[in-house]
Amino acid sequence: MGVRAGDIRQLTWFGKELDVKGEDANVVIDLGGYTSEMGINGNGTSHDTQRRKKATVSDVPVSIDDDRGDLEFLQGKQDTNAFGPLNITLASGVTYSGSMKLVGEVRKSTGDGTASLTWEGAKLEAI
């Protein structure tokens, strides 16, 4: 049986290491590329359409460390709409990399000291 690949070993963005909270973090990864849709023509034949889709890394529970200025770093990058190198290494040893930007709200929950973050870009690749 292989290593369970849901666990995140390391996450860096713009070279800054961010701590993913929880051993069983359920991060959603979409590599980007194309999505296919099939439709039916009036005469009963099918037609296919492919659309480009963005890459996403979403629902990432990141621990926000006040001493390291994590919240200020994240908000600062989002304020400038910055794309930067994101690397995420899974427990299986696979690392995905791409130029990504932070989207959505950057909110720290004081109860558990985390923020749930999402990055988007053109594509992610296994390196």
The answer to the question of residue 38 being in a domain is yes
The answer to the question of residue 3 being in a domain is no
The two beta strands, 28-30 and 114-121, are unpaired
Note the pLDDT of residue 2.
43
The answer to the question of residue 74 being in a domain is yes
The answer to the question of residue 2 being in a domain is no
The model's pTM is 0.84
Count the domains in the chain.
1
Q: Domain residues for 85? A: 8-126
The answer to the question of residue 17 being in a domain is yes
The answer to the question of residue 79 being in a domain is yes
Q: How far apart are the C-alpha atoms of 51 and 33, rounded to whole Å?
A: 8
| Per-residue pLDDT reduced to its tens digit, 20-64 | 987 667 899 999 999 999 999 999 999 899 999 999 999 999 999
| Per-residue pLDDT reduced to its tens digit, 54-104 | 999 999 999 999 999 999 999 999 999 999 999 999 988 999 999 999 999
| CATH code of the domain in which 100 resides | 2.40.30
Cβ neighbours around 47 below 10 Å, total = 9
The answer to the question of residue 1 being in a domain is no
